[in-house]
């Protein structure tokens, strides 16, 4: 895949960036691993700058993108990669994950329906990305038992991947290979108690990353995100919804940052769902409340639902 440079201002709709400033990407191709893009996606200056700097020249590092749930970590990487025609091999971490889920294993496969199956080696996302020069995106890395992925350290160091299971095959990292992990913590376990399955990661492993933080957008950016998700909803209503979300987030995190009155929070993802469903339920008696029930409220306990209801009534001026 040929390298191609893309103008930042136009590719990522960045006002104020000179038109001649470009960033590295790959020439357009029909590679099925290039993520689809959403034209209305809103790029915030700082995380965009940090991810592009990493993609241009990782200098031997990996990238760790952290932030609260549904703040836009995974989509940031996929939307950037999609615009730069950079294929992404992605997978999501979980407690029981093993290193071979990343590198590959033998599987019984059959070449056509009804054909007798045979054992074949199937490369995992990390091996594929290293071979072909793709981005390997490991989501929720902090849910994985760290002892399972110490094998990653060599790869993060720029060393080849050795596939013992495949006759000791050695995969050297392609120059376009990049490794990006996302998670709710920065590898230090969950100091707040807000994200229960987060595990403390190995210090040696964390030392191989640069860090980018994606918080919930500030109200101005979040308004642009919501306008993209539900263009027909009046701005005054979208503004109230963002205020509700920020009140809920405050009650989730609590005054000391260690958890507050609510055990659920309203992410940008939930906000977008709320706005989109409002469009669907526009004919109902109270689309704001109905869409909120359908998108968010039904997973709250009765006490939490009462607290959210209070916020809604105060914000929208309902009695
Ligand atoms: N800047 C943005 N512009 C447009 N939509 C956005 C933006 N940020 C987030 N979203 C919306 O929020 C959804 C959730 O984002 P994403 O999956 O990237 O969150 P995340 O931080 O990876 O969440 P999790 O912690 O649960 O993995 C996206 O599918 C998208 O619809
Ligand atoms: Mg994610």
Answer for the pair 181, 64: CB distance below 8 angstroms, yes or no. yes
Q: What is the pLDDT along the chain (319 residues), one digit of tens a residue?
A: 899 999 999 999 999 999 999 999 999 999 999 999 999 999 999 999 999 999 999 999 999 999 988 999 999 999 999 999 999 999 999 888 889 999 999 999 998 999 999 999 999 999 999 999 999 999 999 888 888 888 888 898 889 999 998 999 999 999 999 999 999 876 666 656 666 666 777 777 788 899 999 999 999 999 999 999 999 999 999 999 999 999 999 988 887 777 788 888 999 999 999 999 999 998 888 889 899 989 888 888 898 899 999 999 999 887 6
Q: Counting beta carbons within 10 angstroms of the beta carbon of residue 236, is it exposed (0 to 12), middle (13 to 18) or buried (19 or more)?
A: exposed
Q: For a pocket test of ligand 1, which of 35, 51, 67, 72 has the largest count of ligand atoms closer than 8 A to its C-beta?
A: 72
Q: 26: helix, coil or strand?
A: strand
Look-up: residue for tokens 């034209």? 39
Alpha-carbon gap, residue 172 to 218, rounded angstroms: 41
If you take atom 23 of ligand 1, which residue's CA is the nearest one?
70
pLDDT of residue 175: 96
218 CA to middle of ligand 1, Å? 14
Residue 73 CB–ligand 1 contact under 6 Å: yes
Look-up: residue for tokens 């968010």? 296
Helices then strands, counting H and E runs in the chain, come out as 12, 11
pLDDT of residue 145: 86
Q: Counting beta carbons within 10 angstroms of the beta carbon of residue 173, is it exposed (0 to 12), middle (13 to 18) or buried (19 or more)?
A: middle
Residue 85 CB–ligand 1 contact under 6 Å: no
If you take atom 15 of ligand 1, which residue's CA is the nearest one?
72
Residue 75 CB–ligand 1 contact under 6 Å: yes
Look-up: residue for tokens 């769902």? 273
Residue 124 CB–ligand 1 contact under 6 Å: no
pLDDT of residue 193: 61
Q: Which two tokens stand for residue 71?
A: 């703040």
Answer for the pair 195, 105: CB distance below 8 angstroms, yes or no. no
Domain 3-95+125-213, CATH: 3.40.50.300
Alpha-carbon gap, residue 14 to 22, rounded angstroms: 12
Q: Is the dihedral of CA 119, 120, 124, 126 positive or negative?
A: positive
pLDDT of residue 188: 61
Q: For a pocket test of ligand 1, which of 75, 142, 242 has the largest count of ligand atoms closer than 8 A to its C-beta?
A: 75
End-to-end CA, the chain: 61
């Amino acid at each position: 895949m040929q390298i191609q440079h893309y103008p930042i201002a136009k590719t990522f709709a960045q006002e104020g960036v000179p038109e001649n400033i470009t960033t590295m990407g790959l020439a357009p191709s029909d590679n099925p691993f290039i993520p689809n893009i959403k034209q209305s996606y809103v790029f915030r200056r700082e995380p965009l700058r940090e991810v592009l700097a990493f993609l241009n020249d990782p200098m031997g590092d990996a990238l760790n993108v952290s932030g609260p749930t549904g703040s836009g970590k995974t989509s940031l990487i996929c939307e950037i990669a999609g615009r730069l025609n950079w294929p992404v091999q992605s997978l999501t971490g979980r407690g029981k994950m093993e290193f071979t889920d990343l590198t590959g294993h033998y599987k019984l496969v059959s070449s056509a329906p009804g054909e007798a199956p045979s054992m074949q080696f199937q490369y995992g996302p990390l091996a594929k990305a290293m071979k072909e020069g793709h981005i390997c995106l490991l989501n929720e890395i902090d849910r994985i038992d760290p002892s399972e992925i110490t094998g990653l350290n060599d790869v993060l160091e720029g060393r080849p991947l050795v596939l013992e299971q495949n006759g000791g095959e050695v995969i050297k990292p392609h120059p376009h290979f990049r490794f990006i992990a996302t998670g709710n913590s920065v590898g230090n376990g969950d100091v707040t108690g807000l994200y229960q399955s987060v595990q403390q990661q190995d210090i040696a492993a964390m030392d191989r990353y640069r860090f980018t933080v994606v918080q919930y957008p500030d109200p101005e950016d979040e308004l642009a995100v919501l306008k993209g998700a539900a263009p027909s909803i009046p701005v005054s209503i979208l503004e109230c919804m963002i205020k509700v979300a920020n009140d809920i987030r405050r009650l989730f995190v609590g005054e000391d940052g260690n958890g507050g009155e609510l055990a659920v929070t309203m992410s940008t993802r939930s906000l977008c769902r709320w706005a989109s469903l409002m469009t669907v339920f526009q004919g109902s008696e109270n689309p704001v409340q109905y869409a909120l029930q359908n998108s968010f409220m039904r997973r709250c306990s009765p006490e939490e639902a009462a607290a959210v209801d209070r916020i809604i009534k105060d914000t929208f001026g309902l009695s």
